Each structure stands twice: as C-alpha cells, then as structure tokens.
C-alpha cells in the first residue's frame, strides 16, 4: 500500500536509507596565507546531498473502478474524481419566490392571483400603507386576506405594529413565531 509521502512524490523519511560511499577528500598544499585549504570536488557534493531513490509505484490492481473508467487512479487503485472537471447543469429558474403586493388604484387586492401563488409556494408580502387614510378599506383587505389564508390553510402574520405589512407564507413554508424566523418546512417532519 502506498503511503502519504509517495502520494506527494516525496521520499519517505522513515524508510531505511543507504549511505553512499565517500571518496577521500583531496587536500591542497599551503596557499599564500600559510593556511591549509581543502578542495571538495563536485562529485562529493552531489553524493552527499542526493535524496534516497523513490521506489517506482507498483501497478495496483483496480478493484472498485467504475465501468469504462478513463480518468486517473489513486495509488490505492481507486478512481480519482477531479471535482474541477465536473460540469453542472445550468441552473433552472426557481420555483418559489417572495412577492410584494399592494392595492391597485381601486384599492383592491388581486386575491385570486395571490391564492394561486401561495399554493405554488410563493411567500406574499402585502403592503397596505397606501391605505393610510382609509381604515375601513384596509380592514376589508385584512379580512379578505384572513379568509384566503384560512381557505389555503396558512396564517397571516403582521410584520409591523400597525398591521400595514402582512406576510402570507406559501404552502410548505414554515414561520417560527418563537424566533420570528422564516424558512422552508423541515424535511424530516
């Protein structure tokens, strides 16, 4: 079995090493300064600093390769999947959205379209702030949204103190009222 050092192409420091035979060093006669100098040949330096030879990798029997595998193989004989070469499908359009709705010029809400979008999973934010001087019409819109939520089976949440911003979560969307977090239904519920 190959080890980590061989995977990176480095010599194993724990492997037994053989010391190369050294040639005797040649000495040069005294120079002008009266000191004795030692001459080292290039061959001595190369022998001294040569790393132990790396064992050639043995051809490993591949047991768990996918059929018709053409890619690289790890030293253990497993298929090596290079994640950078994987291509993903182009992303599709999302099937859910966050929709902003406000009353039209006649101060009405498109309740049928809101209900269809909620069934598809869209979350709707209804802004009734344009009805600031029409409390009766704002209350009528709130009652209609409450009836729509009851028919679909979702609750209507107020996002502000004046109940002018209302949140209608879509189907399979849960709202944690304890933490006030919005999210998808838990998968394992």
The mean of the pLDDT values for the chain is 76
98-184 — its CATH code?
3.30.110.150
Task: Reply yes or no on whether the pLDDT at 146 is more than 70.
Answer: yes
Of the segments 3-7, 39-43, 88-92, 172-176, which one has the largest average pLDDT value?
Answer: 172-176
Query: In this predicted structure, what is the pLDDT of residue 148?
Result: 93
pLDDT tens-digit map of 45-54:
555 555 666 5
Long-range contacts of 109-115 (CB under 8 A, 24+ apart): 109/141, 109/144, 109/145, 111/144, 111/145, 111/148, 114/145, 114/148, 114/168, 115/148, 115/151, 115/152
Structure tokens at 110: 């498109």
Considering only the C-alpha atoms of the chain, give the largest distance between any 2 of them, rounded to a whole number of Å: 115
Alpha carbon dihedral 29, 31, 33, 34, in 10-degree steps, equals 20
Identify the residue with better confidence: 183 or 6. 6
Task: Reply yes or no on whether the pLDDT at 13 is more than 60.
Answer: yes
3-state helix, strand, coil in the chain (%, to 5): 25, 15, 60
Query: In this predicted structure, what is the pLDDT of residue 170?
Result: 87
Query: In this predicted structure, what is the pLDDT of residue 33?
Result: 54
């Amino acid at each position: 079995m190959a080890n980590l050092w061989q995977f990176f192409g480095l010599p194993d420091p724990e492997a037994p090493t053989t010391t190369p035979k050294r040639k005797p060093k040649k000495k040069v006669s005294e120079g002008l300064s009266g000191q004795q100098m030692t001459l080292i040949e290039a061959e001595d330096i190369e022998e001294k600093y040569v790393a132990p030879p790396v064992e050639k990798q043995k051809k490993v029997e591949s047991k768990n390769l996918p059929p018709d595998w053409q890619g690289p193989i790890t030293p253990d004989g497993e298929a090596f999947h290079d994640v950078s070469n994987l291509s993903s499908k182009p992303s599709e359009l999302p099937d859910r959205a966050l929709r902003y709705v406000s009353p039209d010029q006649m101060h009405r809400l498109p309740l049928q379209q809101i209900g269809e979008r909620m069934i598809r999973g869209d979350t709707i934010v209804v802004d009734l702030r344009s009805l600031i001087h029409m409390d009766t019409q704002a209350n009528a819109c709130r009652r209609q949204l409450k009836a729509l939520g009851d028919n679909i089976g979702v609750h209507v949440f107020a996002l502000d103190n004046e109940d002018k911003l209302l949140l209608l979560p879509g189907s399979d969307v849960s709202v944690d009222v304890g933490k006030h977090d919005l999210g998808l239904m838990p998968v394992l519920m």
